Amino acid sequence: MAIVGSSVVVGKVLVARVPVFLIGGLRFALASVILLGLVVALERRLPRLGARDLAVLVLQALTGIFAFNVLLLFGLRLTSAAEGGIVTSTTPAVAAALAALVLRERWTARRTAAVVLAVLGVLTLNVATAGPPGARGPAPVLGDVLVFGAVLGEAVFLVCSRVVSQRQSPLVVATGISVLGLAMFAPFALWEARGFDFGALGARDWLALAYYGVAVTVVAFLLWAHGVARVEAGTAAVFTGVLPVSALALAYVLLGEPFAWAHVGGAACVLAALALLAGGAPRR
């Protein structure tokens, strides 16, 4: 999740230079090539997926890959990376709630309090001014709403991960959602590529795209798939709280975004929600 958190900052840099769907197409093309190579080398054969597993992988790719990235990147055009990072802090509470509803995981008063704190954290962002005019982005409220839409997609992705990880290996899961993600992005990416000047991209842009494809996709997907196969979805949801902490820190350090006490208040609320969830997570 710390690696995924860096995608908020990398995405903020890339959307200023590269169209949203083209970023996704290039990212998942690179990741799919690497992961398919690993499947051939390690699995020795292409896996057979049943109709149910394929349906779950398609839902994962649609919500946690396509919708998540599109909503996140478009949202980051309208709000700051720091603020977008804090909005993603609601992921633990949203995912825990969805896991309880769909997977029948135990719901507690502790989880209820965590949801309330997470929502309060988001509201704190939207009633306070963060820094000088324009520092929050051209349309921060709409941007935050889009980023929260990405959070919902991530929550569905988490629940699906828990379901499919019981029958398929982490490598097969990571490869499947990456290839399906590429298929979803490809038509839009090819359309945007027609009029895009690739020669205008510098070494920094290509390095950012490579980082997006290798670290944020291949490495993070494999680590996530290995982890979620071993814990309940509600427990895994707790660790998604690392994402906004990483995003917020990197937004300050790498992008030089202005410090705001509203960020501290919002972060305090969602970190308190994270602590509540962590304290109530079942031990194995």
The mean pLDDT value for 124-132 works out to 53
Confidence of residue 30 (pLDDT cuts 50, 70, 90): very high
Contacts of 224 (CB under 8 A, 6+ apart): 1, 4, 161, 174
What is the structure's pLDDT at 126? 53
Is the pLDDT assigned to residue 23 strictly greater than 80? yes
In the chain, what are the domain boundaries? 2-280
pLDDT tens string 74-97: 887 888 766 776 777 677 778 878
**Between residues 270 and 281, the one the model is more confident about:** 270
Is the pLDDT assigned to residue 133 strictly greater than 50? no
**Between residues 14 and 231, the one the model is more confident about:** 14
Instruction: Please count the residues of the chain.
Output: 284
Confidence of residue 283 (pLDDT cuts 50, 70, 90): very low
The mean pLDDT value for 203-228 works out to 86
How much of the chain, in percent, has pLDDT values that exceed 70? 76
pLDDT tens string 102-111: 877 666 777 6
pLDDT tens string 151-207: 899 889 888 887 887 778 888 888 999 999 999 999 999 999 998 999 888 898 899
CA 196 to CA 192: how far, in whole Å?
6
Amino acid at 227: G
The chain-wide mean pLDDT, for the chain, equals 79
Token code pair at residue 235: 């427990």
